[in-house]
Amino acid sequence: MNNKRNKNERDDILLKRAFEEYLLRADDSLPTDEEAYEEFPPSEEDRLYYLGKVKKRERASSAAKILKRVAAIVLAAVSVTFGALMMDENVRAAVTRSVVSLVDSGVKVKFMVPRDQDDQKKTSDVTIGYVPEGLAVKELHVDDHPNYRVVHISEMNDIFDTFVGISIFPSDEVDPGFSQPTWEKVYMSEINGMDAFMVDVESEIDGKPISGRSIVFGDEDISIMICGINISHEELVKIAENIEW
């Protein structure tokens, strides 16, 4: 995982140099400022028009700032209340059961963006490049949803002490079922340059300690939700980073 990150960083350094040089050379092909002025002299009317637009925006952003402060106070109050509720073991267990049930129900996640039609990827293009040692992969068929894929990674027994469920969807599927959770242990991160949100839950079921983790990420074509039970954060991230399309 570290080698991949180091390689990405080296690539980015080279690309930065290359794009900067490219831009420097591209500049030579542009008209000079004097030529542009002669061809398209600016007008005072246009200038005042655009400055008027700036004034409108400044007024609007003041109102937005007040609204944001109010929203922040409300959100803080809700978070404190919910944090207090999560101290209750029954609430925590219910949250864990929800995470597990999400795997089996194949809950759809919607990234609310219109699709870029060129180079569109399909769920069948997705490959899972890493499986933790000792675990096996099983792909399930999802009735009535030919574009969905559900993959289970677990021990080759029925105990399922360690279990990972991967749900793969087209990103533009309409879904009312899932939205970004507001639990206190949700945090934003990144998987292979794509925004991701992660949830960690520690609880117990029937006296047995259990840890659940979810990672949700994707792009405009494909969305991935990975739910893991009794698997470390690092292993789950490694599985996520080795999913490609």
Partner 1 sequence: MIVFSTPLSGKQSDREIIDYIYRQFFPLMRSVAARVLSGNVQDAEDAVHDAMIKIIKNVGVIDVSDRKKLRNLCCIIARNCALDRLRSMDRKNALTVEIPDDAEDERTLPDESAVSEEAFETILAAIGSLPEKYRYPCILKYVYEYKNKDIAALLGIPEMTAGTRIRRGKLLLQDKLRKEGYHE
Question: Please, where are the H alpha helices in the chain?
Answer: 2-27, 33-39, 44-86, 89-105, 233-241
221 binds partner 1 per the rule CB under 8 A = yes
Q: How far is the CB of 165 from partner 1 (least distance, A)?
A: 24
Closest approach, Cβ 123 to partner 1, in A, equals 16
Residues of this chain, 147-206, that bind partner 1 according to CB under 8 A: 192-195
DSSP-assigned letter for residue 39: H
Long-range contacts of 207-211 (CB under 8 A, 24+ apart): 210/96
Q: Which residues, 103 to 142, sit near partner 1 by CB under 8 A?
A: 111, 113-114, 116, 119
- Site for partner 1 contains 46 (CB under 8 A): yes
Q: 10 Å Cβ neighbour count for 96?
A: 19
- Is residue 20 a contact point for partner 1 (CB under 8 A)? yes
CB atoms within 10 A of CB 67: 9
Judged by CB under 8 A, does residue 25 bind partner 1?
yes
Integer Rg of the chain from CA: 24
Positions touching partner 1 (CB under 8 A) are: 7, 10-23, 25-31, 33-37, 39-42, 46-47, 50-51, 53-55, 57-58, 111, 113-114, 116, 119, 192-195, 219-221
